[in-house]
Structure 1
Amino acid sequence: MMARPRENLESMNNPMSTVAVSYNYPLVALSVLLAILASYVSLELAHLAGKPHQIELKDRWLSISSLALALGIWTMHFIGMFAFKLPIPVIYDGFMTILSLLIALAGSFFGFATLLIPCPIRRTAALGGCIMGAGIAGMHYLGMHAMRVAADMHYNPFLVALSVLIAVFVSGLALWIVGSIKAGNIAKTTRNKILVAGMMGLAIASMHYLGMASVTLQLNGSTVDTHGFVIEGELMATTLSFAAILLILFPLYSVNYEHRFSDRLAIELKQLRINEARLRKLIENAPDAFFVHDENGQLLDVNKVACLQLGYTREELLSSSIFRIADKQELVKAICPSLLNTGGSQIQGTYIRKDGSTFPVEVNITAIMDNGKKYIFALARDVTETEKLKSHLSKLAMTDELTELYNRRAFISCLDKSLSRARRNAENLSVLMIDIDYFKQINDLYGHYVGDIALKHFSHTIKKSIRHEDIVGRLGGEEFAILLPNTSKYEASALAEKLRKTLEDSVFDHEEKEIGFTVSIGIACFDPPDISPMLLLKNADHALYLAKENGRNCVVNYCAAT
Structure 2
Amino acid sequence: MAVDSTLAEMHWKHDLLGSIEIGIVVLNKNYEVQVWNQFMENHSNIVPGFIKDKSIFEFFPEIDKNWLIRKAEPAFSLRCPVFVIWEQRPYLFKFGTNRPITSHGEHMYQNITIFPLASLSGQVEQICIVVYDVTDEALNRLGIQTLNKELEKVSRVDGLTGLFNRRYWEEQFELEFKREKRNDKPASVVMIDIDHFKKVNDNYGHPAGDDVIRALAKLIQKASRETDVCGRYGGEEFAILLPDTPVANVEFLTERIRRLVEKYTVVHEEHEIKFTISVGIAGFEQKFKDHVQWLEAADQALYRAKLSGRNKVVVAGE
Shorter-chain TM-score tier: 0.5 to 0.7
The answer to which structure, 1 or 2, has the higher relative contact order (CA under 8 A, 6+ apart) is 2
Q: Partner of 1:347 in structure 2?
A: 87
1:297–1:323 CA contact under 8 A, matched in 2:
no
Query: Deviations 1:360-396 (Å, cap 9, x if unpaired)?
Result: 996534344443565444546486x847766655543
Aligned residues: 284
CA RMSD of aligned residues (A): 5.1
Change (3 A) 1:363 1:278: closer
What residue is the counterpart of 1:400 in the other structure? 158
Aligned counterpart in structure 2 of residue 449 of structure 1, from 207, 210, 230 = 207
Residues 317-371 of structure 1, C-alpha deviations (whole Å, 9 max, x = no match): 93349884459679968x989x9675564525577999xxxx8996534344443
CA displacement, residues 448-500 of structure 1 (integer Å, 9 cap, x when unaligned): 21111111111222223334543422233222122323320111122223322
Q: Structure 2: which amino acid aligns with 1:278? A: S
Alignment partner, residue 19 of structure 2: 278
Identify the match of residue 526 of structure 1 among 284, 296, 315.
284
Within a 5 Å distance, the mapping from 1:372-521 to structure 2 comes to 375-378=128-131, 379=133, 381=135, 386=143, 392-412=150-170, 415=173, 427-521=185-279
Aligned partner of residue 87 in structure 2, secondary structure: strand
Distance 1:474 1:325 in 2: 49
Is contact 1:348–1:362 with CA below 8 Å preserved after alignment?
Answer: no
**How far apart in 2 are the matches of 1:305 and 1:374?**
21
Classify 1:344/1:494 alpha carbon distance in 2 versus 1 (closer, same or farther; 3 Å): closer
Equivalent position of 1:366 in the other structure: 113
* TM-score, with length taken from structure 2: 0.63
Q: Deviations over 1:170-226 (max 9, x none)?
A: xxxxxxxxxxxxxxxxxxxxxxxxxxxxxxxxxxxxxxxxxxxxxxxxxxxxxxxxx
1:298–1:320 contact (8 Å) kept in structure 2: no
The CA distance in 1 between the partners of 2:289 and 2:65, in whole Å, is 43
Alignment of 1:64-79 (within 5 A): none
In the TM superposition, what whole-angstrom CA distance separates every residue of 1:404-460 from its partner, at most 9, and x where no partner exists?
223335434655676677778764322212122232332233222111111111122
C-alpha offsets along residues 217-256 of structure 1, whole Å, 9 cap, x if unaligned? xxxxxxxxxxxxxxxxxxxxxxxxxxxxxxxxxxxxxxxx
- Alpha-carbon distance in structure 2 between the residues aligned to 1:431 and 1:331: 55
Distance in 2 separating the partners of 1:376 and 1:321: 16
**Number of the residue aligned with 2:57:** 319
Where structure 2 has 5 or more consecutive residues not aligned to the other structure, the ranges are 95-105, 119-123
- Alignment check: 8 A CA contact 2:187 2:243 kept: yes
Contact 1:430 1:483 in 2 (8 A): yes
1:74-112 deviation line (CA, Å, top 9, x unaligned): xxxxxxxxxxxxxxxxxxxxxxxxxxxxxxxxxxxxxxx
Rate the CA distance shift 1:485–1:346 in 2: closer, same or farther, 3 A. same
Q: Normalised by the size of structure 1, how large is the TM-score?
A: 0.39
How far apart in 2 are the matches of 1:317 and 1:413? 57
What SS does the corresponding residue of 1:347 show, helix, strand or coil?
coil
SS in 2 for 1:520: strand
- Return the alpha-carbon distance in structure 2 between the equivalents of residues 397 and 327 of structure 1: 44
Does the 8 Å CA contact 1:422/1:486 hold for their aligned counterparts?
A: no
Richer in helix (by share): 1
The percent of aligned pairs where both chains have the same amino acid is 31
Greater C-alpha Rg: 1
Structure 1 stretches lacking a partner, 5+ long: 1-46, 54-261, 284-289
The letter of the residue matching 1:318 is I
> Structure 2 matches for 1:63-462, cutoff 5 A?
266=8, 273-279=14-20, 282-283=21-22, 298=31, 303=40, 318-320=56-58, 324-325=62-63, 345-349=85-89, 364-371=111-118, 375-378=128-131, 379=133, 381=135, 386=143, 392-412=150-170, 415=173, 427-462=185-220
